[in-house]
A and B are shown apart, each in its own frame.
Chain A
Amino acid sequence: MASTQLTDEELFLELKRFGFTPGPVTENTRPVYLKKLKKLREEQQQRGLRPGKTRTIGAINSTTGGGSTVASRPVSHDVTHLNTSRRPGRKSSLLGFSSDESDAETPLKRKGLGHSGRANRSSSSQQQPKIRPASTPSVAIKSRYDHSATPSSNFSLGQNGERRVSLGWGVGDRSRSDAGLRRYDDSGDEDNYEEDMEKKSRSLNGRGASRLNASKLAGDYSDSDEEEVSGLGVGDPECDRLEPRRNHPSVALSSDVTDRGSATDGQNTEATPRRFLNMGGSQGEDEEEDDLKRRDFSRLGDSRSHTLPRKPIYGSLTENHKGYTGKNSPATGEDGASRSNSTELRPRFSTYSGLSQTYRRNHSNHTPAPNHSCGHAALKRNVSAPEDELLQQFKREELASSGSFSAHYLSMFLLTAACLFFVLLGLMYLRMRGSGALEVDNVINSPPPEFDTPNKDVIQKLLLSLHDHLAFVAGQHDCGDPNHPNRSVSIDEASVYLLAQNKSFKGLINESLDWIIQKGQDVGIRLMGAVPDEPVTKVSEIARLESTHPKMSFTCRFRRAFFTIINRVLLIAVVAGCVWSVVCYVKYRWRRDETETRQMYDMVERIIDVMKTHGEACQENQDLQPYLPIPHVRDSLVQPQDRSKMKKIWERAVSFLSANESRIRTETQRIGGADFLVWRWIQPSLNCDKGSSKVWQGKAFPLDRRNSPPNSLTPCLKIRNMFDPVMEVGENWDLAIREAILEKCSDNDGIVHIAVDKTSREGCVYVKCLSAEYSGKAFKALHGSWFDGKLVTVKYLRLDRYHQRFPQAQGCSTPLKASGLATSVTNTTAHLQHHSSASSPGFS
Chain B
Amino acid sequence: MSSTSQKHKDFVAEPMGEKPVMALAGIGEVLGKRLEDKGFDKAYVVLGQFLVLKKDEELFRDWLKDTCGANVKQQGDCYGCLKEWCDAFL
Which of A28, A838, A841, A842 lies in contact with B63, CB distance below 8 A? A28
A35 at the interface (CB under 8 A from B): yes
Q: List 21 A-B contacts (CB under 8 A).
A: A23-B52, A23-B53, A23-B56, A28-B63, A28-B67, A29-B63, A32-B59, A35-B62, A36-B58, A85-B56, A602-B71, A606-B28, A609-B28, A617-B6, A827-B22, A828-B29, A835-B7, A835-B23, A838-B14, A839-B10, A841-B10
A824 at the interface (CB under 8 A from B): yes
**Are the C-beta atoms of A842 and B49 separated by less than 8 Å?**
no
Q: Please, what's the 1-or-0 string for B27-43, where 1 marks a CB less than 8 Å from any CB in chain A?
A: 01110010010000100
B20 at the interface (CB under 8 A from A): yes
In the complex, chain A residues whose CB is within 8 Å of the CB of B90:
none
B66 at the interface (CB under 8 A from A): yes
Indicate whether A820 sits within 8 Å of B63 (C-beta atoms), given known contacts A21-B54, A85-B57, A838-B11: no
CA distance A842 to B11 in the complex (A): 9
In the complex, chain A residues whose CB is within 8 Å of the CB of B71:
602
In the complex, chain A residues whose CB is within 8 Å of the CB of B28:
605-606, 609
Which of A24, A617, A831 lies in contact with B22, CB distance below 8 A? A831
CA distance A23 to B60 in the complex (A): 11
**Are the C-beta atoms of A32 and B30 separated by less than 8 Å?**
no
Give residues 220-269 of A contacting B (CB, 8 Å).
none
**Are the C-beta atoms of B30 and A605 separated by less than 8 Å?**
yes
What residue of chain B has the Cβ atom nearest to residue A35's Cβ?
A: B62
Q: Please, what's the 1-or-0 string for A2-27, where 1 marks a CB less than 8 Å from any CB in chain B?
A: 00000000000000000001111010
In the complex, chain A residues whose CB is within 8 Å of the CB of B10:
835, 838-839, 841-842
**Are the C-beta atoms of A32 and B36 separated by less than 8 Å?**
no
CA distance A82 to B71 in the complex (A): 23
CA distance A602 to B28 in the complex (A): 9
B10 to chain A, nearest CB (A): 4
**Are the C-beta atoms of B33 and A842 separated by less than 8 Å?**
no
**Are the C-beta atoms of B52 and A824 separated by less than 8 Å?**
no
What residue of chain A has the Cβ atom nearest to residue B7's Cβ?
A: A613
CA distance A89 to B54 in the complex (A): 9
A636 at the interface (CB under 8 A from B): yes
**Are the C-beta atoms of A841 and B6 separated by less than 8 Å?**
no
CB contacts between A and B, total, < 8 Å: 78
In the complex, chain B residues whose CB is within 8 Å of the CB of A834:
19-20, 23
Q: Please, what's the 1-or-0 string for A29-46, where 1 marks a CB less than 8 Å from any CB in chain B?
A: 101110110000000000
A799 at the interface (CB under 8 A from B): no
CA distance A632 to B60 in the complex (A): 31
A491 at the interface (CB under 8 A from B): no
A772 at the interface (CB under 8 A from B): no
In the complex, chain B residues whose CB is within 8 Å of the CB of A797:
none
Q: A609-B28, A831-B20 are in contact. List 12 more A-B contacts (CB 8 A).
A: A32-B66, A33-B59, A36-B62, A85-B57, A89-B54, A605-B30, A636-B1, A835-B7, A838-B10, A838-B14, A839-B10, A841-B10
In the complex, chain A residues whose CB is within 8 Å of the CB of B33:
824
Give residues 740-765 of A contacting B (CB, 8 Å).
746
Interface residues on B, range: 35 or more
What residue of chain B has the Cβ atom nearest to residue A840's Cβ?
A: B10
In the complex, chain B residues whose CB is within 8 Å of the CB of A841:
10, 13-14
CA distance A372 to B49 in the complex (A): 41
Give residues 591-635 of A contacting B (CB, 8 Å).
602, 605-606, 609, 613, 617
In the complex, chain A residues whose CB is within 8 Å of the CB of B18:
746
What residue of chain A has the Cβ atom nearest to residue B70's Cβ?
A: A602
Indicate whether A32 sits within 8 Å of B62 (C-beta atoms), given known contacts A602-B71, A605-B28, A820-B41: yes
**Are the C-beta atoms of B53 and A605 separated by less than 8 Å?**
no
In the complex, chain A residues whose CB is within 8 Å of the CB of B63:
28-29, 31-32
Report, nearest first, the 9 A-B pairs whose CB atoms are least far apart. A838-B10, A636-B1, A23-B54, A32-B63, A23-B52, A32-B62, A605-B28, A842-B10, A613-B6
In the complex, chain A residues whose CB is within 8 Å of the CB of B7:
609, 613, 835
> Which residues from chain A sit less than 8 Å from chain B, CB to CB?
21-24, 26, 28-29, 31-33, 35-36, 85, 89, 602, 605-606, 609, 613, 617, 636, 639, 746, 820, 824, 827-828, 830-831, 834-835, 838-839, 841-842
**Are the C-beta atoms of A830 and B6 separated by less than 8 Å?**
no
In the complex, chain A residues whose CB is within 8 Å of the CB of B73:
639
In the complex, chain B residues whose CB is within 8 Å of the CB of A824:
33
CA distance A24 to B50 in the complex (A): 11
In the complex, chain B residues whose CB is within 8 Å of the CB of A831:
20, 22-23
A36 to chain B, nearest CB (A): 7
Most buried by A among B13, B54, B67: B54
B61 to chain A, nearest CB (A): 9
B54 to chain A, nearest CB (A): 4
**Are the C-beta atoms of A31 and B66 separated by less than 8 Å?**
yes
Indicate whether A842 sits within 8 Å of B20 (C-beta atoms), given known contacts A23-B54, A28-B52: no
In the complex, chain A residues whose CB is within 8 Å of the CB of B67:
28
Which of B6, B29, B49, B52 lies in contact with A605, CB distance below 8 A? B29
In the complex, chain B residues whose CB is within 8 Å of the CB of A605:
28-30
**Are the C-beta atoms of B62 and A842 separated by less than 8 Å?**
no
Indicate whether A838 sits within 8 Å of B66 (C-beta atoms), given known contacts A23-B54, A24-B52: no
**Are the C-beta atoms of A830 and B20 separated by less than 8 Å?**
yes
A208 to chain B, nearest CB (A): 22
Indicate whether A842 sits within 8 Å of B54 (C-beta atoms), given known contacts A602-B71, A820-B36: no
In the complex, chain A residues whose CB is within 8 Å of the CB of B53:
23, 29, 32
CA distance A613 to B1 in the complex (A): 12
CA distance A35 to B1 in the complex (A): 35
CA distance A740 to B56 in the complex (A): 36
**Are the C-beta atoms of A28 and B49 separated by less than 8 Å?**
yes
CA distance A410 to B51 in the complex (A): 50
B71 to chain A, nearest CB (A): 7
A738 to chain B, nearest CB (A): 17
CA distance A827 to B67 in the complex (A): 21
CA distance A610 to B49 in the complex (A): 27
CA distance A89 to B29 in the complex (A): 35
CA distance A434 to B18 in the complex (A): 89
CA distance A85 to B62 in the complex (A): 16
Which of A29, A636, A828 lies in contact with B49, CB distance below 8 A? A29
Which of A24, A36, A617 lies in contact with B59, CB distance below 8 A? A36
Most buried by B among A85, A617, A639: A85
CA distance A617 to B7 in the complex (A): 11
Q: Please, what's the 1-or-0 string for B1-17, where 1 marks a CB less than 8 Å from any CB in chain A?
A: 10001110111011000
CA distance A456 to B36 in the complex (A): 100
In the complex, chain A residues whose CB is within 8 Å of the CB of B30:
605
A139 to chain B, nearest CB (A): 12
What residue of chain A has the Cβ atom nearest to residue B63's Cβ?
A: A32
In the complex, chain B residues whose CB is within 8 Å of the CB of A22:
54
In the complex, chain A residues whose CB is within 8 Å of the CB of B51:
23
In the complex, chain B residues whose CB is within 8 Å of the CB of A32:
53, 59, 62-63, 66
In the complex, chain B residues whose CB is within 8 Å of the CB of A24:
52
CA distance A22 to B58 in the complex (A): 12
What residue of chain B has the Cβ atom nearest to residue A617's Cβ?
A: B6
In the complex, chain B residues whose CB is within 8 Å of the CB of A89:
54
B13 to chain A, nearest CB (A): 6
CA distance A36 to B67 in the complex (A): 16
CA distance A529 to B65 in the complex (A): 83
What residue of chain A has the Cβ atom nearest to residue B37's Cβ?
A: A820
**Are the C-beta atoms of B52 and A839 separated by less than 8 Å?**
no
In the complex, chain A residues whose CB is within 8 Å of the CB of B11:
838
CA distance A567 to B9 in the complex (A): 70
CA distance A839 to B56 in the complex (A): 29
Which of A21, A746, A839 lies in contact with B6, CB distance below 8 A? A839
In the complex, chain B residues whose CB is within 8 Å of the CB of A606:
28
In the complex, chain A residues whose CB is within 8 Å of the CB of B20:
827, 830-831, 834
In the complex, chain B residues whose CB is within 8 Å of the CB of A828:
29
A227 to chain B, nearest CB (A): 34
CA distance A651 to B6 in the complex (A): 25
CA distance A112 to B7 in the complex (A): 50
CA distance A628 to B53 in the complex (A): 39
What residue of chain A has the Cβ atom nearest to residue B13's Cβ?
A: A841
In the complex, chain A residues whose CB is within 8 Å of the CB of B56:
23, 85
